[in-house]
Every structure is written in structure tokens, then in C-alpha cells.
Amino acid sequence: MEKWAKLQALQTATANRHILDLFDEARAAEFSVSADGMLFDYSKTNIDSATRAALVELAEASGVAEKRAAMFAGDRINLTEGRAVLHVALRAGEDASIIVNGKYVLPEVSRIRSACYDFATAVRDGSFVGQGGKITDVVNIGIGGSDLGPAMATLALSPYHDGPRVHFVSNVDGAHIHDTLKGLNPETTLIIVASKTFTTIETMTNADTAKRWMAAKVANPATQFAAVSTASEKTLAYGIDPTRVFGFEDWVGGRYSVWGPIGLSLMIAIGPAAFDQFLAGARAMDQHFLTAPFTQNMPVMLALVGLWHNQLCGHATRAVLPYDQRLARLPAYLQQLEMESNGKRVALDGSDLATHSGPVVWGEPGTNGQHAFYQLIHQGTRVIPCEFLVARRGHEADLAHQHLLLVANCLAQAEALLRGRSLDEARAIQAQKGLMGDALELQARHRVFPGNRPSTVLAYDRLTPFVLGQILALYEHRVFVEGAILGLNSYDQWGVELGKELAVALQPVLEGTAGTKGKDGSTAALVAFLRV
């Protein structure tokens, strides 16, 4: 707690300081980190050299380096489930050596990836056909990490699509699968069911609906199904040929699984070569995370900035604002990655956490957000740290002028959050318009921007498979560092269990085959209203 106390004292002493007062000619360079063509600028925060040194001391005292080594070595750092945490193995290089339970794991990782690539290639080139010929559409049915990762990445890499159209269904709300399947041809559609246990109720309910839909035109629908699952007996009973079933180990958590078979839909969309580049980008960030000193380590500094804003400054949320339309699903992806990982209340030993855990993560792409919630960010009473992402170049060369406008908007928003507009400045502007007296004062007060609001910028050349891999691995390691410093388990998710259990119990109540005895009055009343 000594390190935390030191940081809290620094925060208290500098709370009223304006970030602009920190700037000199060197600050932008000294308070930024580069890695393989990517730039992370955190100079528009109230972190100075003394604060950064204290944050690094906290990371060192928390054993981040030792815990990092344990994760990459395959140790069972997920203590509540007794598992290793090895999503990094899914993108490790051929020269890596990782052992779990006395077994080298990379040969099996390579074998499964090759099998996925072979199937993806067969779908893409027409070797694998539906009853109506070459596959034109792929529908990935999953939920949580089995949906958010591949759905986000498939949208992000749409300029690289040269395979069948790919669609995603996750919500058990029948509207989702109905609207997705409407207009597709069952005879040329491939269904991928992504569920490790092949029992996830939302996923299997949607899979059954898709199977019935396909059965209307396809004699044996299961011939156009593939599965990403470890439950081989259940997939076989469902009728899916074992050659179209791709499993992964229990040391890959759902929200960290897009790098392996869960990414099958992405592999089909962009092809194995582009997927290899996606893995290469993540691998480059892994190596940077492993080797760079903390002050020049992008995941470490991203995490330390986050801890400074949340745990020390008390800012309960952070906005992720990609000025890159194809990253529209990144905030939702990061919501799960960060909030499911670090949304805990107890430490590894089961004791209550001494500080708050992870923040609320939310966001939307710019520039749409500027005409929606940025009003609150700029002039609201609460400070919301903002994390901007922006590319130097877009993919649309003929629309370069629009990309220039996009970048200008991104940088302008970060600058506006930093600088703000004082009351005197607002008065001068209104005076130039001819206002005087009380009218001038009223209008000026409405146009004051407090400023001094922190933001960071993650900049990169263009959103390629390599760059997307870098970005996702960066945020994965940020979660690790924050969890390691907070002393919690970032890799279980018991918080999702209770609601699932109660939902199973409520189903017969809603069907009318069970009563509401034991339910609270509100739930019983809502059942009475909603029961059909």
C-alpha cells in the first residue's frame, strides 16, 4: 500500500494543475511510446516525470515482470480454474517453446491452425460446396468471445475480404437470426457454431433455428455445418463431420480466442495469408511487451495511464473513440475484454480488493460521437478520460480529403479537451458579436469549456491485418498489467454465472409449468405481465 499512498499523494498535490502547464518542447516526445510503426501519445494527461516514476515503481513492486514471465511460460496463473493463460501461444512464432503440464503445446496449435486454414481455403476456392454449389455466405453463431472477437475483426478488415460474405448471430432474441438469415440461400450457406462446450443455451438455440431453416431446402443440413468446439461427442451427435470440428484448449479464454479456431469466420473472409499477418502483428506486440523497459513499453504505459485515471484520479469510466469507421465494434469488444477480465471485487487470495477494480469502458466511432455524447465529455460535470485511435491513411485513396478531415477532427477533439475555453475567452467572442451586459454574460457562461481533461492518442499508419493484431494484443496486455497490479484474476468470469442459472430456472416459470414461489415480488409481477 506504500506505493499506492505515494501515488495518491502525488495526485492530490497536482489535481488542480493544468495539463497545458506541463508542456515544453520535449514533452510530446518524452511522454509517448513507439512500437513497430505505432505511436501511443499520453502527453495530454496530468502525468509528469515524478508520477510516471511512481507508477513504474508500483508496477515493479507488484511483480508485473515476474507475472508476465509466468503467463508466457504457461504457468497456471488462472488460479480459480487451475489453468494456464496462453492466448499468446496461438500466435507464437515457430521458434517458441511453451510447455503446459509437461507437454509442448505449439505443435498442436500449429496442427489445428493448419486444419482451419485448409477448411477456410476449401470454402473460399469452392472445393467445399453446399447443395447449391459454391458457398456464398457464412453465418457464425456464437456469443461473447465467440462472437465479439471475430465480428469486430471481420468488420475491421473488410478491405481485405475476398471470400464469401460473413454474418454473425449472437443474441437469443429471434429477431437477430431471423433478420440475418432472411435473404440468404440455405443451399449456399455455411453455418459455423462456435461454442467450446456445445451447450451454450443462446448459441445452441440459434443453431437449432438455423438447422431448421436450412432443412427446408437442404436434405442433410449438418453437411453445411462446421463447429468450433471441444465437445466432439456432442458435435458428432449433432451430425457435424469431425473433419469440420475445430477445438481449442482450456487455456484459451473466450474473450482472448479470436487468434485460433474462433477466428475461422475471419480466416474464410480474408484468407490464411492475411490471417497470418494478423497473427504477426499480435506477435510483434507480444515481443515488444516482453522486452521493452517499462517506460517505453506500450502495454505497460497504457495500463499505468488507465490506473492513474481510474484508481487514483477517481474517473470511473473511459471512452474508447476510434476515428476509424471499421473499428466500430472495437469499443464493444473492449467492453468484454476489460470489464469481464478486471470487473472483480476480490483479490487472488479471496480478500476484498483495497481499491476499485476496472472502469466502465464504452465508446463509439468518431465523428458520429461528436454529435452525440461529446457534449457531456466537454462540458459535463464529470471527467471522462478519452482514448482516441486514428490512422495516418485510409484505404480509400480517392477519398483522401475525407480522411484528412477525419484526422483533423480527431486531433481537434483531443486539443479541445486539453485547452478548453475560459470565461474571459467566451466573453471576448460574444463581445465581437455585439452582445453586452447580462446577455453577453449569459451567453458566455454557456460557452465555457473547462478543458484540462485527459486523453491519449493511439496512432498508426493504416488499419491492416498486422496493425489490427497489434491493437488487440496491446489491449490484452493492458488488461494483464492492470490485473497484475490490482492483484486480481483477470482470467475467470464467475460474475456471468448467477444470471445464467436464474434464467434456466425462470424458463419453466414463464412457460407456465412452474410457479413463482420463492421469487421476489418484482420478479413475480414481471413474470405475470410478460408470460404469454
Q: Which residues are designated catalytic?
A: 340, 371, 500
User: How far is the C-alpha of 386 from the C-alpha of 366, rounded, in Å?
Assistant: 12
Neighbours of 262 (CB within 10 A): 28
Residue-wise DSSP of 10-75: HHHHHTT--GGGG--TTHHHHTEEEETTEEEE-TTSS--HHHHHHHHHHHHHTTHHHHHHHHHHT-
Phi, psi of 495 (to 5 degrees): -65, -15
Q: Do residues 156 and 330 touch, judged by C-beta distance below 8 A?
A: yes
In sequence order, the 6+-apart residues with CB closer than 8 A to the CB of 354 are: 1, 4, 347
SS3 label, residue 230: coil
Residue-wise DSSP of 210-223: HHHHHHTT-SSGGG
User: How far is the C-alpha of 507 from the C-alpha of 514, rounded, in Å?
Assistant: 9
Beta bridge partners of 130: 133
Give the distance, in angstroms, between the CA of residue 337 and the centroid of all CA atoms in the same chain.
5
Q: Do residues 70 and 85 touch, judged by C-beta distance below 8 A?
A: no
> Element (H or E) spanning 456, and its range?
strand 455-460
User: How far is the C-alpha of 256 from the C-alpha of 286, rounded, in Å?
Assistant: 14
Phi, psi of 165 (to 5 degrees): -65, 140
Q: Grid coordinates in use for 158?
A: 473488410
Please tell me what DSSP assigns to residue 316. Answer: -
Q: Grid coordinates in use for 486?
A: 490490482
Neighbours of 443 (CB within 10 A): 15
User: How far is the C-alpha of 155 from the C-alpha of 450, rounded, in Å?
Assistant: 36
Phi, psi of 167 (to 5 degrees): -125, 160
Cis peptide before 367 (omega within 30 of 0): yes
User: How far is the C-alpha of 13 from the C-alpha of 17, rounded, in Å?
Assistant: 8
